Chain A
Amino acid sequence: MSGEHGELPVAARVRRLEERMIAAGLATDTELDEILEQVFAFASPVNGARMVARAWKDPAYRDRLLADGNAAAAELGLGAGAQGYLLKAVENTPAVHNMIVCPLCSCYPTALLGPSPSWYKSFAYRSRAVREPRAVLAEFGLELPESTEIRVWDANSEAATWSCRCARKAPGRWTKLSCPPSSPGTGSSVPPPGKQTVPGRPGGQRRPITCSSPLPPHRKPPPDACCPHRTAGRDRHGRGGPGHEGDVERRVLPGR
């Protein structure tokens, strides 16, 4: 993140707003900092990766995940992350590939999947995903056969949809969880967030709260959580990014 708080006009504007809110009794320095500490500590793609990894290992859990995403999250102690919306998981298959978009405002299940990527919030993705999904996927390096139907899910804040492929692989192919799952948007690999610190408060001391990502020590997943090894975002067939290995699971609606 940028260092100096006051370098940009917008940064100064934010600082003024904070000061006015604090003066009006709407907020405190401590509360503002604590909010960010919680975000950095608990919102991570590792949470979603645990669910996907369990689905790969445990067919019964996979079925439960497909049936009820919220309950499946709660099973792994992640119910709080899926609170306030209906979590639906759908599955990518060779016949159907799923994409998620929120054209209106970029809704995203941050607590379970970490920060939404910049591309997900971009005007280009929001506008083009529903109109020309195949071209959008190609820009991520994913060329799907014409025979593969692409289903674009226009999600809203009350319903988050995950997309992934239920890859059942031999245990030997799996490695320890060392990378985040793919984005639910297109399935592209999400790089681990860099170190994030709580930025300083206006007029106050900067608090060096550093949260290493994606695995803060106290959130280290159990040994059986793992994800398939990925090489530069490509699966074993050499296909790139979106929609393949490591995607979060997405449910295919009845075929039409």
Chain B
Amino acid sequence: MGGQTGFGPVPTGDNGQFFHADWEARVYAIVRVLQRRGVINAAFDDLRDAIERIPPAEYLTMSYYERWLRAAEMLLAERGLLGR
């Protein structure tokens, strides 16, 4: 994304919270658990790879933790870890 144009001004306001909604915190915890289980490696490479495979049109409409959620869903589905 570096160097691309068209994204407008930087949203400089921030309240400094880790998460802006409960569901974001739950997504964070889900990803960390997947790290512990080896589904995502310690360097988060698997998570980044999955995020990058989100189709661009969808990627650009998602928030940060929505992308994490989508990536976690993709990895679990691709590796058949959730059963039926």
Direct A–B contact in complex, judged by CB atoms less than 8 Å apart: yes
Q: In whole angstroms, how far apart are the Cα atoms of A126 and B39 in the complex?
A: 27
CB of B11 within 8 A of CB of A32, answer no
User: Mostly helix, strand, loop or mixed at chain B's interface?
Assistant: loop
Please give, as numbers and ranges, the residues of chain A lying within 8 Å of B12 by CB-CB distance. Answer: 119, 139-140, 188
CB distance from B30 to the nearest CB of A (A): 6
CB of A198 within 8 A of CB of B25, answer yes
CB of B21 within 8 A of CB of A123, answer no
Q: Mark B37-63, 1 if CB is under 8 A from A, else 0.
A: 101001110001001000000001000
Please give, as numbers and ranges, the residues of chain A lying within 8 Å of B13 by CB-CB distance. Answer: 118-119
- The segment from A68-76, A89-97, A100-108 that touches chain B is A100-108
Complex partner residue of A117 from B16, B22, B27, CB under 8 angstroms: B16
CB of B16 within 8 A of CB of A26, answer no
Counting CB contacts under 8 A, is A232 at the interface?
A: no
Please give, as numbers and ranges, the residues of chain B lying within 8 Å of A24 by CB-CB distance. Answer: 81-83
CB of B21 within 8 A of CB of A11, answer yes
Please give the residue numbers on chain B whose beta carbons come within 8 Å of chain A beta carbons, in ascending order: 1-5, 7-23, 25-30, 32-34, 36-37, 39, 42-44, 48, 51, 60, 64, 66, 69, 72-73, 76, 81-83
Interface size bucket, A side? 35 or more
Counting CB contacts under 8 A, is A60 at the interface?
A: no
Please give, as numbers and ranges, the residues of chain B lying within 8 Å of A173 by CB-CB distance. Answer: none
CB of A126 within 8 A of CB of B1, answer yes
CB of A14 within 8 A of CB of B15, answer no
Please give, as numbers and ranges, the residues of chain A lying within 8 Å of B82 by CB-CB distance. Answer: 20-21, 24, 26
Complex partner residue of B48 from A105, A130, A200, CB under 8 angstroms: A105
CB distance from B14 to the nearest CB of A (A): 4
Q: In whole angstroms, how far apart are the Cα atoms of A193 and B19 in the complex?
A: 10
CB of B1 within 8 A of CB of A115, answer no
Summed over the interface, the residue pairs from A and B with CB atoms below 8 Å come to a total of 171
CB of B18 within 8 A of CB of A26, answer no
Given A14-B23, A35-B32, are A104 and B1 also a contact pair (CB < 8 Å)? Answer: yes
CB distance from B3 to the nearest CB of A (A): 5
16 additional A-B residue pairs with CB within 8 Å, beyond A11-B22, A32-B29, A119-B12: A2-B21, A5-B23, A14-B26, A21-B76, A21-B82, A26-B34, A26-B76, A32-B33, A84-B43, A117-B16, A126-B1, A127-B2, A139-B9, A157-B44, A196-B18, A199-B22
Please give the residue numbers on chain A whose beta carbons come within 8 Å of chain B beta carbons, in ascending order: 1-3, 5, 8, 10-11, 13-15, 17-18, 20-21, 23-24, 26-27, 31-33, 35-36, 39-40, 43, 84, 101, 103-106, 114-115, 117-119, 121-131, 136, 139-140, 154, 157-158, 180, 188, 190-194, 196, 198-200, 213
CB of A128 within 8 A of CB of B30, answer no
Complex partner residue of A124 from B10, B26, B39, B64, CB under 8 angstroms: B10
Given A2-B22, A24-B82, A157-B43, are A115 and B16 also a contact pair (CB < 8 Å)? Answer: yes
Please give, as numbers and ranges, the residues of chain B lying within 8 Å of A18 by CB-CB distance. Answer: 26, 30
